[in-house]
């Protein structure tokens, strides 16, 4: 299917590896011009080169740490200067530290909110004026299943990312008449470094091996396997497409059936 994305301009955050990289690759294969972001310039430059050589797309690397309040502003402006406008923005910040409520002080809560909620709001706010002028836009954010169903040890993630879902729903109402959609992707377990870190943290608490924690986690997924980043990338590309213009204000699970809520 032709998603009618050729020539569109996209900004994809957290794209040096994992799910962000998969989204950037899917959009590049659809013919988008893509600005990718991550914190580490060396890793980001390597990812940009892989995308260029693998897709032939125009790809620019824009390093920034979105946990810094002004970084999201500078990043969006840099992408706008490169492409002239942005049609697609995907917010994708790293997950907050794990641990129970009592282990997180005020500074940890502020950092979680700045990294996940406030950076998303800033990226969207900076990109919106051009989208409103052109009457077309796709605002996307990768959150987590923890935003919908609290997961033990991820209270910072659950709280901050639930706030992101409130932002998505409220903003979608405001911009829907302007041809702009706003959606959240809530992934379950995918084979990423973040998931490996979570299993290591749980093993330290449970006294089990990391492999035991992995097997225990897999038993929660009806499909019996981890998600493939390319599967999420393909879904994000669809949400960015012309054909997905009637989908907005949604928090969509992509989790192999793991989520139990109806």
Decide if pLDDT at 255 tops 80. yes
Are the CB atoms for 249 and 139 separated by under 8 Å? no
Q: Taking Cα atoms as reference points, which of 87, 90, 100, 98 lies closest to residue 187?
A: 90
Higher-confidence position of 36 and 262: 36
Q: Taking Cα atoms as reference points, which of 69, 49, 68 lies closest to residue 59?
A: 49
Largest CA distance in the chain: 56
Alpha carbon distance 177, 175 (integer Å): 6
Which tokens sit at 150? 């609290």
- Confidence class for position 84, pLDDT limits 50, 70, 90: very high
Which tokens sit at 98? 């794990």
Q: Is 181 left (phi over 0), alpha (psi -120 to 50) or beta?
A: beta
What phi, psi does 166 have (nearest 5°)? -65, -40
pLDDT digits (tens, 9 = 90+) for 177-192: 999 999 999 999 897 7
Decide if pLDDT at 139 tops 80. yes
Per-residue model confidence (pLDDT) at position 208: 81
H-run or E-run covering 52: helix 41-55
Decide if pLDDT at 56 tops 90. yes
> Which stretches does DSSP call E strand in 44-179?
59-61, 88-91, 137-142
- Confidence class for position 59, pLDDT limits 50, 70, 90: very high
Per-residue model confidence (pLDDT) at position 210: 78
Per-residue model confidence (pLDDT) at position 207: 83
50-54, 98-102, 184-188, 213-217: lowest mean pLDDT where?
213-217
Which tokens sit at 4? 């009618």
- Confidence class for position 61, pLDDT limits 50, 70, 90: very high
43-47, 120-124, 130-134, 201-205: lowest mean pLDDT where?
201-205
Sketch out the chain's domains with CATH numbers. 9-188+228-254 (3.40.50.720), 190-226 (no CATH)
Are the CB atoms for 144 and 91 separated by under 8 Å? no
Alpha carbon distance 251, 120 (integer Å): 15
């Amino acid at each position: 299917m032709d998603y009618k994305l050729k020539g569109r301009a996209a900004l994809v955050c957290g794209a040096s590896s994992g799910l962000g990289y998969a989204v950037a690759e899917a959009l590049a294969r659809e013919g988008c011009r893509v600005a990718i972001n991550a914190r580490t310039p060396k890793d980001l430059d390597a990812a940009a080169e892989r995308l260029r050589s693998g897709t032939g797309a125009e790809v620019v690397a824009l390093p920034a740490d979105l946990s810094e309040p002004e970084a999201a502003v500078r990043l969006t402006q840099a992408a706008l200067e490169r492409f002239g406008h942005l049609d697609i923005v995907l917010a994708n910040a790293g997950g907050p530290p794990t641990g129970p409520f009592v282990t997180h002080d005020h500074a940890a809560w502020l950092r979680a909110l700045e990294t996940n909620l406030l950076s998303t709001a800033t990226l969207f706010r900076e990109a919106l004026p051009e989208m409103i002028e052109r009457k077309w836009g796709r605002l996307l954010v990768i959150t987590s299943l923890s935003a919908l169903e609290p997961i033990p040890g991820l209270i910072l993630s659950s709280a901050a990312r639930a706030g992101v879902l409130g932002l998505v729903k409220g903003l979608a109402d405001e911009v829907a008449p302007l041809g702009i959609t706003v959606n959240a992707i809530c992934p379950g377990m995918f084979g990423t470094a973040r998931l490996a870190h979570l299993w290591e943290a749980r093993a330290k608490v449970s006294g089990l091996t990391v492999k035991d924690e992995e097997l225990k986690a897999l038993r929660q997924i009806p499909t019996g396997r981890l998600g493939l980043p390319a599967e999420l990338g393909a879904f994000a590309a669809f949400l960015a497409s012309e054909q997905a213009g009637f989908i907005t204000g949604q928090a969509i699970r992509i989790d192999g059936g793991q989520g139990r809520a109806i």
